[in-house]
Amino acid sequence: MQRLTLVMTHQCNLDCRYCLQKHENVSMPVEVAEHAIENFRCALMAEGEAGFPISAQISFYGGEPLLERKKIEYLVTYANDRIGGLPCSPLSYEITTNGLLMDQDFLDFAKKNHIILALSHDGLAQDPVRKDRGGKGTSEIVDEKLEMLLRTFPDTIVMMTIHPDHADLVAESIAFFHEKGVRSVSLVPAHGERVSWTDEKFAVFSKQMEKVKVHYEQWNQGDQYFRVIPFDNKIRNYIRQKSADSPSCHFGCHKIIVDTDGKYYPCTHFVGRDGFSIGSLEADVDDEKVASLESLRVEPELCRECELRDRCHHTCACANHGHTGSLGSVSALQCEYEKLIIRLADEAAANLIREENPRFVERMYRN
């Protein structure tokens, strides 16, 4: 799949405690977005002419992308017109949003246009961690938005970021989401200079994830389903003997991020960071720069001896850089997290598959 991500704005209406983005008052001009879509169209046509099957996705990113909602609605219509007619799988879209600006009209538009909406929500830690710009908690409004979202998209994905100070709320938060009707949760520990993971806090997180595993097994019995995305990924990748290192983790390969000023980046993590631009709308992808960055994306030496290396995200450049400042190093947090998730996923999968829970087996083994 080819992916284009448009950074619609750097602004955000929240002030999350772990956020590392600079919320400058800049947004993407429509002309820049149209130019990016045209370049994307050309790239897709070239893939088609080379005989590759094409499938394409356009993501809208921020800050908070729905601050530019009108532009997004226009650009979806524009892209449908320019790309929708190509002989490829239907164009899909994705928006990760904090939900505050969603309404039913937008959800109806999203449904009509195959927009995947992922909602950022930290569960019971929402109020202490994800406050608005006025310092007010946002759980009440986001919970309402979640209910609205689930009525239109029952398979909505919720994205949780775990702040170390609130790691004790993980399992209860997952249960909260399940109770609300959520059936897909992605979760990841917060990292960077604004958070601090100690051994004690990680131990709390680990105990919570053991409880999440128990929930996962309960809620995947029989015809039920509940996805914990990190577990699902580890299990599916093992079943397919597929490396955790996704092709889109390689710079300039399968995805391009276009910033508000038209500069290209290999991943949303690198947007605006000096030295990581890999081209621009005018100049297109700078292959030499891509090669130069790829050469820095080495496997950490310690990881080469590890028997879990094929199942671990240790070569994800943006994750490594976010944790350590280096493309070729992993942090102790990453290492412990990966080992934990792999172990718990395997324990859960062994039980669920041995018991032949039909829906779970289907989800994991279907090609």
Partner 1 sequence: MKQEPVKHVTRPSYPTLDQVKKYPQTSTLTKVAAVTAVTATIAMAATACGDSVEHNYSFGEAFKGLLREVPKATTVELAGDTTTETTEEVLMGEMIIETDETCINGDMVVYTEPVDTGLILDGEARPYVEED
Which of positions 117-156 make contact with partner 1 (CB under 8 A)?
118, 154-155
SS3 at position 113: coil
Q: Nearest approach, Cβ of 275 to partner 1 (angstroms)?
A: 20
229 part of the interface to partner 1, by CB under 8 A: yes
Structure tokens at 90: 């239907």
76 part of the interface to partner 1, by CB under 8 A: yes
Nearer CB in complex with partner 1: 96/139? 96
Residue the block writes with tokens 């910033």: 259
> Quick one: which of 39, 184, 220, 315 contacts partner 1 (CB under 8 A)?
184
Compute CA 291 distance to the chain's CA centroid, rounded to the nearest angstrom.
25
> Quick one: which of 188, 283, 291, 296 contacts partner 1 (CB under 8 A)?
188
Alpha-carbon span 136 to 329, nearest angstrom: 37
Q: How many CB atoms lie within 10 A of CB 274?
A: 6
Stretch near partner 1 under the rule CB under 8 A, chosen from 87-95, 122-130, 172-180, 210-218: 87-95
Nearer CB in complex with partner 1: 239/283? 239
208 part of the interface to partner 1, by CB under 8 A: no
Which of positions 155-174 make contact with partner 1 (CB under 8 A)?
155, 157, 159
Stretch near partner 1 under the rule CB under 8 A, chosen from 10-18, 52-60, 141-149, 281-289: 52-60
Contact 216, 341 (CB under 8 A): no
Contact 339, 308 (CB under 8 A): yes
52 part of the interface to partner 1, by CB under 8 A: no
Which of positions 19-38 make contact with partner 1 (CB under 8 A)?
30
Nearest CA-CA partner of 178 in 129, 127, 132, 214 = 214
Stretch near partner 1 under the rule CB under 8 A, chosen from 6-14, 46-54, 92-100, 286-294: 92-100
Alpha-carbon span 145 to 139, nearest angstrom: 10
Which of positions 291-350 make contact with partner 1 (CB under 8 A)?
300, 302-309, 316, 318-319, 330-336, 339, 346, 349-350
Nearest CA-CA partner of 160 in 197, 191, 179, 185 = 185
Alpha-carbon span 288 to 294, nearest angstrom: 10
Alpha-carbon span 318 to 268, nearest angstrom: 8
Which of positions 231-290 make contact with partner 1 (CB under 8 A)?
232-233, 235-236, 238-241, 246, 248, 255, 267-269
